[in-house]
Each structure stands twice: as structure tokens, then as C-alpha cells.
Structure 1
């Protein structure tokens, strides 16, 4: 079997907040008529430049056409050479490698008439507990909006939430107080997420103030790549500390410094399931736990993460992939399935990823380029259409 063509389709789908995220759908075609699909998720991240999708498609054709899709490892070596790892978790090269890697697994599983699970070594679990995100408060009047959001999602079965914190701590505290009074322990906060926006000392001060309310863990409480700062925070905080993995070198530094308790691993940030499995294995060797992170993917990317997460024996914390619940639409005929706060894997009898493209929806959300709209840094950081300053 040989790859004969590669096609990229850019789409822009609004979130429920009004913020439009741009993604790229990947199609890989073969000489045996088997087609694989993948997702380059959420290019709407800083740094504020865009990838030329026409040029990217041409480049991927040069790399992939003529290759055997089962050569996933050597293809990933080639992709890493062309789109190298960087010490930054929104590195667009990682998004690109992730989309191609996912499509390769889909092609190979379809060619063998098996589920992607069979290529990854089976399943330890059929579902993953996930949490719904509450984005960062900047104004006190946003507390009521977010309490209403918790009510709505709780009715849909989500009973665990993660809270982005640190811009308006008074509002963060007011929100937590309302949650624990109104829901009487039936709603749980998984994490306070600082998103690398604060120095570790400021994050520690805020954590001590807010942790009078129950929380499972603290996420990203130091500036990016401040491994010593993470370690200082961890040694002075009683709660487990989690950090994203965006390169194997960065993970090595966190292991060497003993900076974290939990590695937050998402294929999109490290370049696909192939690299994510390396990161999860490294976490296991270091005696660390894992949770599955997210950039809030659509259903294709979320399904791939569910397959990846189902294989891990050190997935000990509630994970994050709820992206399909945050958008007004999707690009597949049947979205991923959530029930009672769990992300359910497709049935084991499903072939490939188990996702079928919906071209009516794709045409509805298709865009010609990944160029930027007029959005501010705070809108990008907090994934909101809100323009107040």
C-alpha cells in the first residue's frame, strides 16, 4: 500500500463563547482506495501568525506521497525533521504532525479492518472521566454567567469542572464560593489552571487563598519552561502539580528537576499519538501520573485522544477533552459520545477511528485561509469573543 495524495481543508467553527477556532481536516489517500482522516486542531493560538495551507499541503505531499502508511515510525521521524519540536506548547508544527499521525493510524486500522485500539495495544478502559472548562474571570459580573454555565452542564451530566484562574482572584473566589454553596458537594473542581501567566510565587499565593475550596490539583503554576519555579511551587504546595508536555526535551527537564506530579499529555501539543505514547511511557518510568489534556479539539481529534487514553495504566486523574461540547458544530456525521461526565470510546468493533466526515457541515464552516481575525491577546488566552478591557 502506498500513499497517493494528501488533502487539507481549513474550517472555522465558532465556540459557544463566540470565539472562532480554525482547524484543518487531513485526508490521506492510498492506491488501495483506503482513506484516512485526521485533525490539525485549533490553529487559533499565539503566536499570532498563520500557516499558509496551500504551501503546507504541497509540503506534506512531498513528504508523504509514495510512502507506506504503515511506516508510522519512519514517517514521524521525517515529520519531526520538517516540523521540529519547540519548547512551546502552541507550536504549530506539533499541530501539523498530530493531524498527519492521526490520519496514518486511521488508514492502517481501516486497511486491517480493525479499530485504532488494536493498533495501540488494546484497551484498559472503555470510557474516561472528563471535566468541563470554566474560562478565566476578568470581571466580577462574569461569575453569574459561569454559575449559569455550571448549572447547564451539570444538567447534561458534567459534574467535574476545571477553573482557569489568576486574572481576577476576587471573582475566582466568589465563583468557588457560589459553586460549593449551591451544589452542596455534587459538583467538583478538578484544577486551578494558571496557564503559565504568573510567576510561581504569585501562583502559590493565589493557590493558598483559593484552596480553602476543595480542588484536586494545580495546573501550570509557573512561567513556561521555568522548571525550577515549578519545583519550588511543588515543594511548597500540598496539592499535586500538573504540567503540559510539549516536547520530549521539556519533559526530560521536568523529570530531572522533579518539577511535577502529573504530566498533562495531549497528542496535539507533542505531535500526535506516536509521540504522546513516548511521553506517557517516560512518565511511567519516572513514576509520574498522567492526565489527557486538550486544546478543545473537534470530534476527530477527541476520538483519537480517547483511544490514546484508553491504553494508559498511569492515567490516574480526571482528563480534559470536552472540545466537541464547546462548539456550535462539528465536521463528522456522528459526534463523540459523552454520558454522565465520561467520554466514551467508539465500540471496539468500529473500524479505524470510527469517524465519517460530514461534507455539508464542512462546507458550512470552510474557510480559505488560516489568517487571523481582529482578536486581542486576552481573547486568545481566554478563548472568548468578549471585547471588554
Structure 2
């Protein structure tokens, strides 16, 4: 079996906030008539440069066509030489490698008539506990809006939430107090996510202020790649510390400095399922826990993480992949399912990821490129459709 062709399709899917996130659907075709699908998820991040999709298609074709799609390790090695790690959280090369790697896994599993989970070692669990994100407060009036989100999602079965913090601590505290007063122990806050906005000292002061409220961990409480700062923060606070993995050098430094308790692993940020499995294995060897992170993927990317998570022995914390719940639409006929706060792993008898593209939805949401237009930094950070004065 050989790879015969590749197609990249850019779609713009609006979130419920009105913000439009752009994703690239990857289709890799084989000479045996099997097609694998993947997702380069949510390119709408800083830094504000975009890729030429026509040129990217030509580059990837030159790498992939004629290769055996089951030679996933060899292809990943070549992809890494063309799209190297840059030690940056939102490195676009990792997004590219993730989409291709996912499509290769989907194609290979379909060709063998098995699920991706079975291709990568079999499943340990059939559902994964997840939390719903509450996006960062900049204004006090957003507190009631976010409490309304908790009420709505709690009724849908989500009882664990992740709170982005650090822009307006008064509002963060008011929100946590509102959750405590209204829901008590029925609702849990998984983490305070600082997203590298504060240095470790400022983050430590913020955690001290908010420690009157229950939360399970603290995420990204230092500037990017400040491994010493992360370690100082970890020694200063009582809560477990989590950080995303966006390169193997960065993960190695965090292990060496003993900077974290939990590795937040997402294929999109480390460059695919192949790399995510290596990162999880490194965490296991280092005696660290894992959770699945997210950039808020559509159903293809989320299904890939469900298959990954189902096979991990050290996935021992509540995870983040609830992206499909944040969008007004999707590009598959059978979106991933959530039940009582769990992401359901697609059925084992469905080959590949168990996802089927919806041509009508793709045609409706297709856009020409990954260009930015008039989007403010606040819109990018808060995923809103407009910036308040």
C-alpha cells in the first residue's frame, strides 16, 4: 500500500462566542482506495502569521506520496526534519505534523480493519473524564455570564470546570465564590490556568489569594520555558502543578528541574499521536501524572485524543478535550459524544477514528486560507467575537 495523494481543506467554524476558529482537514489517500483523515486544529493562535495552504500541500505531497502509510515512525522523522520543534507553545509546525500523523493513524487502522486505539496498543478505558473550560475574566460583568455557563453545562452533565485566570483577580475570586455559594460540592474546579500570562511570583501571589476556594491543580503558572520559575512555584504552593508539553527538549528540562507534578499532553502541541505517546511514556518513567490537554479541536482531533487517552496507563487526572461542545457546527456526520461529564471513546468496531466527513458541512464552512484579518490580541486570548472597551 502506498500514499497516492493528499488534500488540505481549510474551514472556519464559529464558536458559540462568535469567534471563528480556522482548522485544516487533512485527507491522505492510498492506492488501495483507503483514505485517512486528520485535523490541524485551531490555527487561530498567536503568533499572528499564517501558512500558505497551497504551498503546504505541495510540500507535504513531496514528503508523503509513494510512502507506505504504515511507516509512521519513518514519516514522522522526516516531518520533524521539515517542521522542527521551536520550543514555543503554539508552534505552527507542530500543528502541521499533528494533522498528518493523525491521518496516517486513521488510514493505517482502516486498512487493517481496526480502531486507532487497537493500532497503538489497545484500550484500557472506554470513557475519559473531562472538564468544561471557563474563559478568562477581563471585566466584572463577565462573572455572571460565566456562572450562567456553569449552570447550563452542569445541566448537561459536566460537573468539573477549568478556569482561565490572571487578567482580573477580583472577577476570578467573585466567580469562584459564586460557584461555591450556588453549587457547593456538586461542582469541582479542576484547575486555575494562568496560560503563562504571569511570572511565577505573581502567579504564586494569585494562588495564595484564591486558595480559600477548592481547586485541584494549577496550570502554566510561569512564563514559557521558565523551568526554574516553575520549580520555585511548585515548591511554594500546596497544589499540584501542571504544564503543557510542546517539545521534547522542554519536557526534558521540566523533568530535570522537577518543575511539575502533571504533564498536560495534547497531540496538537507536541506534533501528533506518535509524539504524544512518547511524551506520556517519558512522564511515566519520570513518575509524573498525565492529563489530555486541548486547543479546542473539532471531532476528528477530539476522537484522536479519545483513542490516545483510552490506551494510556498513566492518564490519572481529569482531562480537557471538550472542543466540539464549544462550536456551533462540526465537519463530521457523527460527532464525538459526551455523557455525564465523560468523553466517550468511539466504538471499537469502527475502523480508524470512527469519524466520517460531512461534505455538506465542509462546503458550508470552507474558506480560502488561514489569513487573520482584523482580530485583536484580546479576541485571540479570550476567544470572543468583539473586544469590550
Q: TM-score, normalised by structure 2?
A: 0.99
Residue 387 of structure 1, CA deviation: 1.1
Residue 277 of structure 1, CA deviation: 0.5
User: For 1:1-389, what aligned pairs fall within 5 Å after superposition?
Assistant: 1-389=1-389
Residue 101 of structure 1, CA deviation: 0.3
Secondary structure at 2:144 match in 1:
helix
Q: Which runs of at least 4 in structure 1 moved beyond 3 Å after TM superposition?
A: none
How many angstroms apart in 2 are the aligned matches of 1:285 and 1:48? 36
How many angstroms apart in 2 are the aligned matches of 1:160 and 1:221? 20
Secondary structure at 1:69 match in 2:
coil
How many angstroms apart in 2 are the aligned matches of 1:117 and 1:138? 40
Residue 279 of structure 1, CA deviation: 0.4
- Number of aligned residue pairs: 389
Instruction: Mark the runs of 5 or more structure 1 residues left unpaired by the alignment.
Output: none
**What does the per-residue CA deviation read over 1:146-199, in whole Å, with 9 as the maximum and x for residues that have no partner?**
011110100111000000001100000000000011012111100000000001
**What does the per-residue CA deviation read over 1:187-243, in whole Å, with 9 as the maximum and x for residues that have no partner?**
110000000000100000000111210000000000000000000000001000000
How many angstroms apart in 2 are the aligned matches of 1:286 and 1:320? 22
Residue 121 of structure 1, CA deviation: 0.4
How many angstroms apart in 2 are the aligned matches of 1:147 and 1:330? 26
How many angstroms apart in 2 are the aligned matches of 1:344 and 1:201? 39
Give the root-mean-square deviation of aligned CA atoms: 0.6
Greater displacement, 22-31 / 307-316:
307-316
Residue 346 of structure 1, CA deviation: 0.8
Q: TM-score, normalised by structure 1?
A: 0.99
How many angstroms apart in 1 are the aligned matches of 2:352 and 2:252? 32
Residue 118 of structure 1, CA deviation: 1.1
How many angstroms apart in 1 are the aligned matches of 2:75 and 2:325? 32
Residue 80 of structure 1, CA deviation: 0.2
Secondary structure at 1:287 match in 2:
coil
Secondary structure at 2:274 match in 1:
helix
How many angstroms apart in 2 are the aligned matches of 1:210 and 1:383? 24
How many angstroms apart in 2 are the aligned matches of 1:187 and 1:375? 34
